[in-house]
Amino acid sequence: MLREPGGPTVVIWSERLAHGARERQAVTRLLRLADHLELSVVDGAGMIEIPAGANGRGLREVGCVPNLGPGLADTEEGGRGRSAGQVAEALAEGELSALLLFQADPLRTHPDRASWERALENANFVVAFSDFVNESIEEHANVVFPAEAYAEKEGTVTHPDGRVQRVRQSIGRPGEVRPQWQVLLDLVSGLLDSSPFDSFTGPLLTSHVFGSVPFYAGLTLEEIGGRGIRWQARDAAANLPRDELPGDDAELEPPPGLPDGLRLGTVRGLWAGRETDHSPSLRFLAPQQRAEISPADADRAGVRSGDEVLVGVNGTRVKAIAAVRSAVAEGSVFLTEGTSEDNATVLANGVPQTVELRRP
């Protein structure tokens, strides 16, 4: 929580707070804190969520989440989608047979790699969009469509503070690369008797998205302009759905207990990905796995910063370089997700996890 002396309060929180067994309680308490601080009525005050991925807020607001439709509208139980973990489980159990990977490499970036290995092995048909071949695609994709690189796209993104901004194409698309939305609509059209998408253009699609989100109502690319616009500052923001918070007497479950060991925390590596994999000039930025631990835990394990350590659970281990940090809470260890070797995702499985750290 940030606050300058005499200034408004801004609460910064992570999207991960809204995931897990206690997600509803966590979000309820966060909203109650915002209500207590009167963030909605103090000029300059507010909340900023740090999304788990690029444009996370924009994707959620237009309905790209399992349990919400466009405009953060609740979906009926029978119409809800599945989370990534639930998709992997359904593929592994044969409930689903086909998978579409959109600029995704779940074997590298998603928790519980073993679950995704089973899912991809069991999938009958895998369609992928990607600008580079990755491990998931190379081993399992039946069809691969070339995807646009960042500079080849046009559209919009939403900043974590709610500012909708334009993305403008700055270089031409090579070869037969087409806008990804065009290929997606072609695939959808192939599944329909008649297609409503034959005459769609990029601006028309954007207009359709704005018309589907009540609090974007009337928004245009011209209004967004070069600086972007915070939709909360527009009159249409009054269309944001609002739910009553549970009362203060709402029952709170106690936090789950953890067995002996270090609590595992993971964070996505900013430079762990295809950019540093394929660009020689950026390769020096590619992160190597490191284990950040507190001084007290380092003393108990007999390690110093720079030492090689093994971090593992149930016989699965990754190598890392120890990094002793005073800011790390005692009893915790933090690893990096997405590294090309010794990836933390082989240890994480979406639930609280404890691990062992020792010298080789």
**pLDDT, tens digit, for every residue of 293-348?**
999 999 999 999 999 999 998 889 999 999 999 999 999 999 999 999 999 999 98
Task: Report pLDDT for 42.
Answer: 86
Task: Report pLDDT for 281.
Answer: 95
Burial 279-289 (b: 16+ CB within 10 A, else e): eeeeeeebbeb
Phi, psi at residue 183, to the nearest 5°?
-65, -40
Which residues on adjacent β-strands are paired with residue 130?
146
What residue type is assigned to position 301 of the chain? Answer: A
Average confidence (pLDDT) over 92-107: 95
Summarised one tens digit per residue, pLDDT across range 221-248 is: 999 999 999 999 999 999 988 766 566 5
Q: Where does the pLDDT of residue 191 fall: very low under 50, low under 70, confident under 90, or very high at 90 and above?
A: confident
Average pLDDT of the chain is 89
What residue type is assigned to position 12 of the chain? Answer: I
Average confidence (pLDDT) over 189-208: 83
Instruction: Give all domains of the chain, ordered by start, each with its CATH number.
Output: 262-358 (2.40.40.20)
Q: How far is CA 319 from CA 94, 269, 274, 288, 294, in A?
A: 34, 16, 22, 10, 18
Instruction: Reply yes or no on whether the pLDDT at 144 is more than 90.
Output: yes
Task: Report pLDDT for 259.
Answer: 59
Tokens matching residue 66: 């399992």
Any idea which of 63-77, 162-176, 327-341 has the lowest mean pLDDT?
63-77
CA dist 320 and 343 (Å) reads 10
- Residue 13 DSSP symbol: E
Task: Report pLDDT for 300.
Answer: 93
CA dist 164 and 157 (Å) reads 6
Burial 310-339 (b: 16+ CB within 10 A, else e): bbbbeeebbebbbbbeeebeeeebbbbbbb
Residues 6 or more apart in contact with residue 10 via CB below 8 angstroms: 1, 2, 3, 44, 45, 46, 47, 48
CA dist 116 and 297 (Å) reads 32
Instruction: Reply yes or no on whether the pLDDT at 291 is more than 80.
Output: yes
